[in-house]
Chains A and B, each alone.
Chain A
C-alpha cells in the first residue's frame, strides 16, 4: 500500500479527528527501500532504473575507495546474513504471536462493551415490562369488587331462601299434623268397628257359617275332580 496520498492536516486549525492509521506499513522492497522510490524513478528510467542506480553507486563507492573493504566488512556480512536468516525463518511466527496478544486485548474490551450494551437493553425491556404489568392493576380491583358483589348477592339469596323454607316448614307442619290426626282417627275407628263385629259373632252363627263352608268346599272339590 502506497502512502503518498495520505492526507494530513494541510490547513490550520482543522478540528476533525485524524483518519485512522493504516493497518499495514508502507510497502518495502528488499526490506529496506520503500516502494515509493521505485515508483518515483519509474517514469524516467523504467523498471530497472533504481537497480542500475544502486549498482552504479556501489561500484563507485568500491572503486573510488570511498567505502574501504576491511575486516569489519566480513564481520558485517556474517552478522547481517545471520540476522536476515533469523528474520526470514521466524519473522511471521513472532508477528502472528504479537498480533494475537493485541487481538486478545481488543476482544476483551469489546466483550465488556457488548455485555454492557446487552445489560442495558435487557434493563430497558424489564422496565417496559414492569410498566405494562402495572397497567393491569384494574384487574385486581375489579376482582375485589366482584367478590364483594358476589358475597352480597349470595347473602341476599340465602336470606330469601331461609324465609321461604321457614314458612313452608310451618305450613307443612300444619298439614302433616292434620293428616296424622285424620289417620289416627281412621285407624281407631276401623279397629273399634272390627272389635265390635268380632264380638257380635255369637257361637250359633259360628257353627252355621262353618257348616256352610264345609258344604261349599265339598261342592267345589266335586267340580274340581270333574274338571281333572
Chain B
C-alpha cells in the first residue's frame, strides 16, 4: 500500500484562473471540468471496501471448506496497482516549458529594456516651445525631410502633404 497515493496536491483554482490569458480560457475550463469530474468520481468511491463477515458465512454456508477456501484465496489475493505511464511525460513537458519560458522571459525583458529606453528619451525631451526644427528632427527622425531623394520643395511626395 505504499506505492499508491501519489500525493494529490491541493490546487488553488482561483489563482490558476487569474493567470490564464483570455485566449486560453476555453482550454482552462475544459481542464477544470475534467479535474472536477475526476475528483467527484474519486470521492464517491470508498477508500477501502467493507470487510467480508467470514464468521457469519462459515456458520451459514453448509458446504464444508468452501468458505475457508474463499477466505484463504481472498486474503492471499493481491490486487495490482495501476501502472503510472504518464507522469514521466508530464515531467518532460514541464522541463520543456521551463526552457521555453526562460527564453520568452528573456525576450520580454529585452523588449522592456527597449521600451524603457524610448520612454526615457521621450521624457527627457526639451519642450516643443523651445525646439528648433533641427532639434525636432533629432527627437523624431521621421519628421526629417529627405533632401537627397526629393531635392525640390516640399521635399516629400505630394500625396504625403
Contact = CB atoms under 8 A, between A and B. Distances in A.
A32 interface: no
B2 interface: no
Interface residues of A, number: 56
Given A161-B45, A174-B63, A178-B60, A156 B4 contact: yes
A153 B57 contact: no
Nearest to B143: A109
Nearest to B90: A144
- Size bin of chain B's contact surface: 35 or more
B104 interface: yes
Contacts of B57: 171, 175
A124 B112 contact: yes
Interface stretch (A8-16, A125-133, A214-222): A125-133
Contacts of A175: 57, 60-61
A153 B43 CA distance: 10
A147 B49 contact: no
Interface in A113-172: 113, 116-117, 120-121, 123-124, 127-128, 130-161, 163-165, 167-168, 170-171
B74 to A, nearest CB: 6
A139 B11 contact: yes
B105 to A, nearest CB: 6
Given A20-B129, A117-B123, A164-B50, A143 B41 contact: no
B149 interface: no
Contacts of B115: 120, 123-124, 127
Given A143-B11, A157-B46, A167-B52, A152 B6 contact: yes
A74 to B, nearest CB: 45
Interface string B1-28: 0001111110110011011110000000
Interface of A: 20-21, 106, 109-110, 113, 116-117, 120-121, 123-124, 127-128, 130-161, 163-165, 167-168, 170-171, 174-175, 178
27 contacts: A110-B128, A116-B118, A120-B118, A123-B111, A132-B19, A133-B21, A135-B19, A136-B16, A141-B90, A145-B9, A146-B8, A149-B7, A150-B35, A152-B4, A152-B82, A156-B79, A156-B82, A157-B46, A159-B79, A161-B49, A163-B74, A168-B52, A171-B57, A174-B61, A175-B60, A178-B60, A178-B61
Interface of B: 4-9, 11-12, 15-16, 18-21, 31, 34-35, 38-39, 41-42, 45-50, 52, 57, 60-63, 66-67, 70, 74, 77, 79, 81-82, 84, 86-87, 90, 93-94, 97-98, 101, 104-105, 108-109, 111-112, 115-116, 118-119, 122-123, 125, 128-130
Given A124-B115, A137-B94, A150-B8, 6 more contacts: A145-B9, A150-B39, A153-B4, A163-B79, A167-B52, A175-B60
